[in-house]
A = this chain, B = another copy of it.
Amino acid sequence: MSHTLGIRQAQKQKTRQAFLDAALVLLEEQSLSSLGLREVTRAVGVAPTAFYRHFRSIADLGVALVDEALGSLHPMVGPTVSAANDSEERIGRAVELIDQHVRAFPAHVRFIARERHGGVQPVREAIRDQLARFTEEVKAELALNRESEGWGDDDLTMLAHLYVDQMLITAQLFLEALEAPQGEWERVTRLAVRQLRLITLGSRHWMDQEAPAER
Q: A-side interface residues toward B, CB under 8 Å? A: 27, 29-34, 110, 113-114, 116-119, 154-155, 157-159, 161-162, 165, 169, 172, 190-191, 194-195, 197-206, 209
A sample of 13 cross-chain residue pairs with beta-carbon separation below 8 angstroms, ordered by A number, consists of A27-B119, A29-B119, A30-B33, A33-B34, A118-B118, A158-B194, A158-B195, A197-B209, A198-B199, A201-B201, A201-B205, A204-B205, A205-B205
- Bound Cα distance A30, B190 (Å): 36
Please judge, given known A-B contacts A33-B34, A202-B201, whether A195 and B162 are in contact too, CB under 8 Å.
yes
Name the distance in Å between A208's Cβ and chain B's nearest Cβ.
8
- Bound Cα distance A202, B205 (Å): 8
Instruction: List residues of chain B with CB within 8 A of the CB of A165.
Output: 165, 169
Please judge, given known A-B contacts A31-B118, A165-B169, whether A202 and B198 are in contact too, CB under 8 Å.
yes
Q: How many copies does the complex hold?
A: 2
Instruction: List residues of chain B with CB within 8 A of the CB of A118.
Output: 31, 114, 118
- Bound Cα distance A172, B158 (Å): 16
- Bound Cα distance A165, B190 (Å): 17
> Main secondary structure on chain A at its contact with chain B?
helix
Name the distance in Å between A124's Cβ and chain B's nearest Cβ.
9
Cβ-defined contact, B195 with A201, below 8 A: no
Name the distance in Å between A65's Cβ and chain B's nearest Cβ.
15
- A-B pairs with the 4 shortest C-beta distances? A202-B202, A34-B34, A31-B119, A30-B119
- Bound Cα distance A205, B194 (Å): 13
Cβ-defined contact, B29 with A194, below 8 A: no
- Bound Cα distance A162, B201 (Å): 14
Chain B CB within 10 A, most for which of A30, A34, A157: A34
